[in-house]
């Protein structure tokens, strides 16, 4: 091999090494970006779930105390100690039956769509 051929071979090796290093850096950067996006989406989804959970728990407390007050009020109106509680319980039973038959349309689909939308932001 002549010195010129050796020089060209070194340049080609150097260019190949630079290309390999660039590809390696690109893959590393791409991996890190994907990891950070996953962490970001996961944290947003978790924050959404916790927020909805807190609102749900607060709503349950509100509903409990309102129901209790309405039941006592109805019991006093009917002059039967358990009457108001039975009426409020009946209202909840009707609500549960309605929700059971419409859960896919009114609960499952909107929550699924919202959760997917939060994940794909």
For the record, the structure tokens of 45 come out as 């989804």
Residues 6+ apart with CB under 8 A from 121: 41, 44
pLDDT at residue 71, rounded to an integer: 95
Do the Cβ atoms of 75 and 84 come closer than 8 Å?
Answer: yes
pLDDT at residue 44, rounded to an integer: 81
Which residue positions in the chain have pLDDT lower than 50? none
Per-residue H/E/C for the chain? CCHHHHHHHHHHHHHHHHHHHHHHHHHHHHHHHHHHHHHHHHHHHHHHHHHHHHHHHHHHHHHHHHHHHHHHHHHHHHCCCCHHHHHHHHHHHHHHHHHHHHHHHHHHHHHHHHHHHHHCC
Extents of the domains making up the chain: 3-119
């Amino acid at each position: 091999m002549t010195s010129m051929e050796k020089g060209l071979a070194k340049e080609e090796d150097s260019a190949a090494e630079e290309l390999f290093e660039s590809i390696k850096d690109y893959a590393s950067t791409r991996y890190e970006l994907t990891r950070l996006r996953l962490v970001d989406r996961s944290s947003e989804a978790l924050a959404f779930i916790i927020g909805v959970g807190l609102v749900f728990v607060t709503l349950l407390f509100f509903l409990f105390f309102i129901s209790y007050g309405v039941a006592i009020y109805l019991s006093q109106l009917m002059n039967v100690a358990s009457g108001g509680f039975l009426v409020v319980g009946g209202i909840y039973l009707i609500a549960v039956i309605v929700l059971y038959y419409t859960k896919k349309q009114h609960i499952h689909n909107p929550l699924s769509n919202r959760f997917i939308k939060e994940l794909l932001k």
